[in-house]
Structure 1
Amino acid sequence: MFIFFCRLIILFVGFIFFFAAPCAGNDPVLRLATDSWPPYSLGQEGGALESGYAFDLCTEVSQRIHCKLKADLLPWNRVLACMKNGTYDITFPIQRKPEREAFMVFTNVVLEDRVFIWHLKTCKNSLPGWQTINDLKPYTIGIVSGYTYRDKMDQAIENDIIKTEKVNSAESNFKKLLGKRFDAFLESESVVMSFFQKHPEYRNHITHAPQIVSKDVFRIGISKNSPFAEMLPEINRVIQEMKEDGTIARIMTMTK
């Protein structure tokens, strides 16, 4: 009888351990991998994520699910590889795409960021008044390698309907535009506003066409090989809570 009860206790403890949430341990850690992309993620690539919207948002999420955050900056292709093999648990910001759903689950939308075509204020052609993809055919547009601009714009880029020039970072687009090496570039509004904060002198030189290209719809991506994938409903609840109590709006208006 004593042996029976010992086995029963062991079985019960094992049952609790198996079904415990990922944050139930002594030192629970939520591992975030993202690439360098001010103002969302700032720091030295290959090192720790130091600040930015991604750091602040994911720190808040981790605290509300009672975890510690470990956040690192990696090249984007490596970030995706880490999501595939589960080396890290989450990435942010990211947009949901069919090919990514093979190895990640995605939260509800955390935030949206408008994308515009940015050009020099001295631009004399008809680019500022563009309305359709066909209007962009005469121009060369700078884009960041690996980023998605959604729907018709992505299709136009993929099918070479418009001429594009790829760069490895958003900052390179600014330098090339100011050097008149192409006509314009595609970028999120918050990224450009962050650049203007760092280089206020460029506000007098760069503006955007009124037409909105798309809206970046950013979510948290969770590796399917991470135990946190099972916590998707709880993380969605936390994100909604952060929207309702103004936390996300507050973070997005902070100066980085």
Structure 2
Amino acid sequence: MTLLKQALISLALIFSPLLKADVLTLTSLDWPPYSSQQLKQKGASIAVVSAALKEMGHELKVEFYPWERAVHLAKNDARYAGYFPEYLFESSDLLFSDSIGLGPLGFAENKAKPVQWSALADLKSYTIGVVRGYVNTDELDQMIANGTLKSEAVNSDSQNLTKLGHKRIPLAVIDSNVFQYLIDNTPSLQPFKADLQMNPKLLVEKSLHVAFTNNQDGQRWQEILNQGLKRIDVDKIMADYLAK
């Protein structure tokens, strides 16, 4: 694509709100504090995307589903242009937005049985709790897939934390902000609140993104959202929301 053509597309996107305000419809999951029907502004990630689209004169509509269904619908149902929040990974089916925030990914553990490790290979003797359908890190996911590391999959982070509380697993992969929110706000986890903690060694601080379907509509919304993200302070919106 020539530089002139790119410039014309960008200008068209910038000024398109003056002509027509459109609604971007995405799927998401219940993943507080980043996304949830129960939260103010429906979560930190949704607050960021809404602010970016507002800068471009557009609106956001989010429909919530269990994670695997949210991903499936976004890829296969023309009503949706994509889903979020998602980590970056290699895909020919998806187009990723610029970062909509950061999430510190690590392991939750039981304080009675803390785990010391420096490399993932140190965890070969442990069974790691994961959430079905979640992308974690390339190395961790590959080591689980090839059998180097043992894992047990459940449908939600709260289920893994319950298993940790009962000492059925020693570790569970989880975002530390999600861990803190669930421990503070989930009634069924209150008996374990004093027993669970984040392992002090993080896996990685992951960037969060909107994953758009790789088609003409997805490309259009990717460009619009990226333009809007450049106009706002993503880190401040995220930090202010998480501080509430």
Structures share a fold, TM > 0.5? yes
Counterparts of 1:43 and 1:245 in 2: how far apart (Å)? 22
- Is contact 1:130-1:209 (8 Å) kept? no
1:221 and 2:211 correspond:
yes
Instruction: Output the CA distance in 1 between the equivalents of 2:215 and 2:96.
Output: 13
1:238 aligned partner, one-letter code: G
Q: Is the 8 A contact 1:118 1:185 kept in 2?
A: yes
Write the mapping of 1:65-144 to structure 2, written as runs, cut at 5 A.
65-85=56-76, 86-99=78-91, 102-123=92-113, 128-144=115-131
* 1:230 and 2:225 matched: no
Deviation, structure 1 residue 26: 5.7
In structure 2, the gaps of 5 or more residues are: 1-11
Q: In structure 2, give the amino acid aligned to 1:178.
A: G
> Are the counterparts in 2 of residues 22 and 28 from structure 1 also a CA contact under 8 Å?
no
Offset at residue 205 of structure 1 (A): 0.7
Cα 1:245–1:95 shift into 2, 3 Å: closer
- The 2-side partners of 1:103 and 1:206 are apart by 38
Cα offset, 1:21, TM superposition: 7.4
* Equivalent residue, structure 2, for 1:40: 34
RMSD, aligned CA? 2.8
Q: Which runs of 5+ in 1 are unaligned?
A: 1-17
Contact kept in structure 1, 2:87 and 2:209, CA below 8 Å: yes
Q: Distance in 2 between matches of 1:231 and 1:50?
A: 21
For the 8 Å contact 2:108–2:197, the answer to whether it is kept is: yes
The superposition leaves residues 198-253 of structure 1 with CA deviations (integer Å, 9 ceiling, x where unpaired) of: 15664421112222212222112222335352253442232233227833332333
Change over 3 Å in CA distance of 1:108–1:71 after alignment to 2: same
Aligned residues: 228
Aligned to 1:11: none
Q: What is the TM-score when the length of structure 1 is the normalising length?
A: 0.78
Partners in 1 of 2:13 and 2:127 — Cα distance?
Answer: 54
Q: Who wins on radius of gyration, i.e. which is larger?
A: 1
Residues 224 and 24 of structure 1: is their aligned pair in 2 closer, same or farther, counting only changes over 3 Å? farther
Match of 2:167 in 1: 180
Q: Residues 105 and 174 of structure 2 are in contact (CA less than 8 Å); yes or no, is this contact kept in structure 1?
A: yes
Deviation at 1:107, TM superposition (A): 1.4
Q: Secondary structure at the match of 2:35?
A: coil
Whole-Å Cα distance in 1 between the matches of residues 235 and 149 of structure 2?
42
The separation in 2 between residues aligned to 1:82 and 1:61, in whole angstroms, is 23
Deviations 1:149-178 (A, max 9, x none): 112211111111111100000110111111
In structure 2, relative to structure 1, the CA distance for the partners of 1:145 and 1:195 (3 Å cut) is same
Q: Secondary structure at the match of 2:42?
A: coil
DSSP 3-state at the match of 1:92: strand
The one-letter code matched in structure 1 to 2:165 is L
TM-superposed CA distance for 1:143, in Å, is: 0.5
Match of 1:207 in 2: 197
Provide the secondary structure at the position in 2 that maps to 1:161: coil
The equivalent of 1:246 in structure 2 is 236
Distance (whole Å) between structure 1 residues aligned to residue 83 and residue 93 of structure 2: 12
CA contact (8 A) 1:22 1:227 kept: no
Deviations 1:54-86 (A, max 9, x none): 332222122112112211102323322333243
1:152 and 2:139 equivalent? yes
- TM-score, L = length of structure 2: 0.81
